[in-house]
Amino acid sequence: MRGILEHNKPLAEFTSWRVGGPGRQVYQPADLEDLSEFLATLPPEEPILWLGLGSNTLIRDQGYAGTVIVTQGHLKELSQVGPQQVRAEAGVSCAQAARYCARLDLTGVEFLAGVPGTIGGALAMNAGCFGGETWPHVAWVETINRRGERRQRQPSEYQIAYRTVQTYPDEWFVAAVFNLQPGDKTIALAAIRELLDRRAATQPTGEPSCGSVFKNPPNDYSARLIETCGLKGHRIGGALVSPKHANFIINENNATAKDIEALIAYVQATVKQQHGVSLEHEVRIIGEV
Show which residues are catalytic.
163, 212, 282
Q: Are 238 and 259 in contact (CB under 8 A)?
A: yes
From CA 253, how far away is CA 238, in angstroms rounded? 4
Going by C-alpha positions, the residue among 60, 25, 17 that lies closest to residue 43 is: 25
**Distance from C-alpha of 159 to C-alpha of 156, rounded to nearest angstrom:** 8
The 3-state DSSP class for residue 233 equals coil
The span from the CA of 229 to the CA of 263, in Å, is: 14
Distance (Å, whole) CA 250 – CA 267: 14
CA distances for 23 relative to 8, 58, 89, 238, angstroms: 5, 13, 23, 23
Taking alpha carbons only, the member of 11, 43, 44 closest to residue 27 is 11
